[in-house]
Amino acid sequence: MKELVTKGYQNVKFQQPYQQAMCYRSLILHDNTWPWMDGLEVIPHLEADDLAKFVPMLLSRAFLECYIAGNIEPKEAESMIHHIEDIFYSGPRPICRPLFPSQYLTNRVIKLDRGMSYFYPAEGLNPSDENSALVHYIQVQDSPKGNDCVIGGGEHGCHKIEKKGGVLGKKLKSLEEKLKS
């Protein structure tokens, strides 16, 4: 198992440049994200006993956030969540306790300040790869309700648009269709 995880971390160096660039983007924009390099550095020092000690500590306090999608009734979804919560938090010997309020994540995604420009250059990890990549990331908000979207430039000028509703989301959907044709 240890060798597989180590190999996975080492193989990050051989990903396409745009995948590496998107990885860096995630590290920059998301709070509490651990770089793969940190994992690669720690793994050789871990033993099975360390994992056996860590699991109970990890589960001692937990916050569950669930998202259920698909062909399911709301009552059935709620029932599933209650069942999961019962397993974790209820019974004679619950697996864990809820987090303290101070332990909840306050920021999931970093908000880029208006008018600011951020630039993060990084060398490609595979010196024999002649390709390069640029990620162009723009945060947009069309209303105070928080309906926002993200435009990210990918390899060869391709654009990926993630929509979260609102008028701007519809406009970007139209733009996405134009880019595909």
Map out the domains of the chain as residue ranges: 1-149+158-179
Radius of gyration of the chain (CA): 21
- Above 50 in pLDDT, residue 21? yes
- Above 90 in pLDDT, residue 79? yes
pLDDT of residue 148: 46
pLDDT of residue 74: 92
- Above 50 in pLDDT, residue 105? yes
Summarize the confidence of residues 141-146 as an average pLDDT. Answer: 52
pLDDT of residue 7: 92
Q: What is the chain's mean pLDDT, rounded?
A: 76
* Distances from the Cα of 70 to the Cα of 10, 67, 84, 117, 164, angstroms: 36, 10, 18, 39, 18
Summarize the confidence of residues 123-127 as an average pLDDT. Answer: 81
Is the Cβ–Cβ distance between 139 and 111 less than 8 Å?
yes
Token couple for 27: 């590290």
pLDDT band at residue 161 under the 50/70/90 scheme: very low
Q: Per residue in 63-86, is it b (16+ CB within 10 Å) or e — as a string?
A: eeeeeeeeeeeeeeeeeeeeeeee
Q: What percent of the chain has pLDDT over 90?
A: 15
**How far is residue 49's CA from residue 53's CA, in Å, rounded to a whole number?**
6
125 or 153: which leads in pLDDT: 125
Smallest CA-to-CA distance from 37 within 8, 16, 61 is with 8
- The model scores a pTM over 0.75: no
